[in-house]
Structure formats: C-alpha cells, structure tokens
Amino acid sequence: MDLSTIIGIVLGLFAVFGGAALEGLHMSALIQPTAAMIVLGGTAAATIVSFPLPILMAAVKDLKKVFMPPKEDPEAVIKNIINYAAKARRNGLISLEQEAQTVKDSFTKKGISLVVDGIDPQKLRETMEIELTSFESHGKHSAEVFESAGGFAPTIGIIGAVLGLIHVMSNLSDPSKLGGGIAVAFVATIYGLMTANIFCIPFGTKLKIRLKEELLQKEMVIEGLIAIQNGENPHFIEQKLRAYLHDGGEKKGK
C-alpha cells in the first residue's frame, strides 16, 4: 500500500472537515446527497463523454496503481538481468529460452524471446522501443482521464451552486426552504473543489509518476538484454544498469 496516497487523502479530508469543525460548522451541513449527486454524476458524465470506453476502462484498472506501488522495483530488474547474463554466458543465449516461458512480465518475455531468436541488436532495440512507446501512450491516457475529471469537477460544482441558488430564488416566499437551497449551493462548490484537488488531479499526478517508474524499468530491460546479446560481462552490465538509478530520482519519478 502506498502510504503517501493514504496519508494525503486522510490529511486533505481532515483539513477540510476539521477546519469546518473548528469554525463551529456542524458536520451535517457538509453532507448533502443532492450536491454529491450533481458533482460526482456530472463529473463522471463529462469524463465519459471526453474519452473512448477502452481508455476509461483502462484508467479504472490503473487506479490501483495509485494505492499499490509496482511489485517489481529497479533493483529486482537489475538482479534478474544479471541472472540472465550469467546464464547466457555459461550456457549460451539459447539457454534463455526456458526463462522466456517463466517470466511474467510480457515486455521482458518478448525481449528475451527476440534475443533467443538471434535478432540483430539494433532491430531488437527498435522493436522494443516501439513497444515502449505504445506502453507510454496508454499510460498517459489513464493519467489524462483523472486530470480531465479534475478539470470538470469545479465547474460542475458551480453548476450545482447555481441550481441551489435557483431553488433559493424560487422559494423566497417560504423561508423554511431557503436554508437547504443555500446549503446545496455552497456545498456543491466545496464538493467540486475537493473532488478535483484531493482526488482526481493528485491521482493523475501519481499515475504519471508510476508511468515514469515503469518506463525506467523497461528501458533498463532493453539495455540489459542488448548487453547480454553482445556478450558483455555481467558485472559490467550491472554497473551500466545502475547508472540509470544514479540519475535517479528524476528517472525513477521519485
């Protein structure tokens, strides 16, 4: 579980509701199902209109990356590549064919298969970079979905506020209904801003960081497999791959 995501969400909600409580505002005043329906439903509708269904489904699937870091880190990638290099050095590239059957990551699996097939290193790089570009494109789409939702939410909140004020204006003769209308008007704005700035936009940012981390690992796989194909020493390969981590935080997205 990604603690920064959990801590950030909890802290954001506590700041809003805790600040309201310190001002003496009763929590029931912030719980408005009508405002929630307008903001969440309207934001979802605008986002659905904006993106094709496959991209939306992929974004929902990628949402778990916001809360769960990738299982494989760069250190694990380096370790696996070194193991492949040592095995290829002892038994030849063909010995990696068995590894291709057991590797779970489809990107690495395809790369190993191409190495075993004896493809030219330049062709190997070109083929794998095409895969990398496609992966990056799909990953960006998921982040864009949440960023777009974050852009829509405050505007939908304003729509909710206007609807609430219309309700107020239409019931000026009945003071008992004024409070509810005003509450919906202002709470809808709060919901829109919270949805955008505590959830959607941060989710999009976190997905971009996850994408950078995954791209780094895939770039390391490409370099490692080409080095293996060229018969380079496993120790030298390790040093080459660790150079990616030394650029560090920027490449890793941390």
Helix, strand or coil, per DSSP, at residue 236: helix
Integer CA distances (angstroms), 231 to 24, 65, 204, in order: 71, 36, 41
**Distances from the Cα of 53 to the Cα of 48, 56, 151, angstroms:** 7, 5, 19
* pLDDT at residue number 63: 93
pLDDT in tens, the chain (254 residues): 889 999 999 999 999 989 888 888 777 778 888 889 999 999 999 999 999 999 999 999 999 999 988 777 888 899 999 999 999 988 888 888 888 888 888 899 999 999 998 888 899 999 999 999 999 999 999 999 999 999 999 999 999 888 888 877 777 777 666 666 676 778 989 999 999 999 999 999 999 999 999 999 999 999 999 999 998 999 999 999 998 886 544 444 33
Per-residue confidence (pLDDT) for residue 177, from 0 to 100? 64
Between helix 178-194 and helix 121-169 the angle, nearest 10°, is: 170
Contact 135/218 with Cβ under 8 angstroms? yes
Residue whose token pair is 């955008």: 196
Helix, strand, coil distribution of the chain in percent, nearest 5: 85, 0, 15
Residue 251 pLDDT = 43
What pTM does this model have?
A: 0.85
pLDDT number for residue 78 = 93
